[in-house]
Amino acid sequence: MKKIIIGLITFGALTFNLQAYDQSERIQDMQTMEASMAQIQKGILYNNKKMVLQGVANLKQASSKVEIAPKTDMDYSTNFAKNQASNIRKFADRVKENIKAGHKHGAAMNYTKVLDQCISCHNKIRKWN
């Protein structure tokens, strides 16, 4: 019986480790978000609605996967990062709505708000000065 329990605990621990969001995945998602932002900006500048919409879709997908593990019990960075990611998706939706309506200035304004969320998160999480 003990062997079965130990085996299940070991299997569970290994499965958890395999599914954990690691630094390489975070880096990949950040690079995807950066490329998506560039795609959105280029789409706005070239008046290419399809490019903007694809960039928004990629940005929303990548931002929904980002996770930050707390370093201590008092570490608020996890909640802060989740809130920033939520705001990124909210403003990305507004970019999409504006570009579909033909309001390029509104799309550009919300693009800037997305960028502000990125910079704010990097200031807090990565300790930028």
Q: Are 96 and 56 in contact (CB under 8 A)?
A: yes
- pLDDT at residue 14 in the model: 56
Low-confidence ranges of the chain (pLDDT < 50): 17
- pLDDT at residue 18 in the model: 52
The CATH T-level fold of domain 22-125 is Four Helix Bundle (Hemerythrin (Met), subunit A) (1.20.120)
Look at residues 24, 22, 84, 78 and name the one whose alpha carbon lies nearest to residue 59: 84
pTM listed for this prediction: 0.80
- pLDDT at residue 87 in the model: 97
Q: Where are the domains of the chain?
A: 22-125
Q: How far is CA 91 from the centre of its chain?
A: 12
- pLDDT at residue 12 in the model: 65
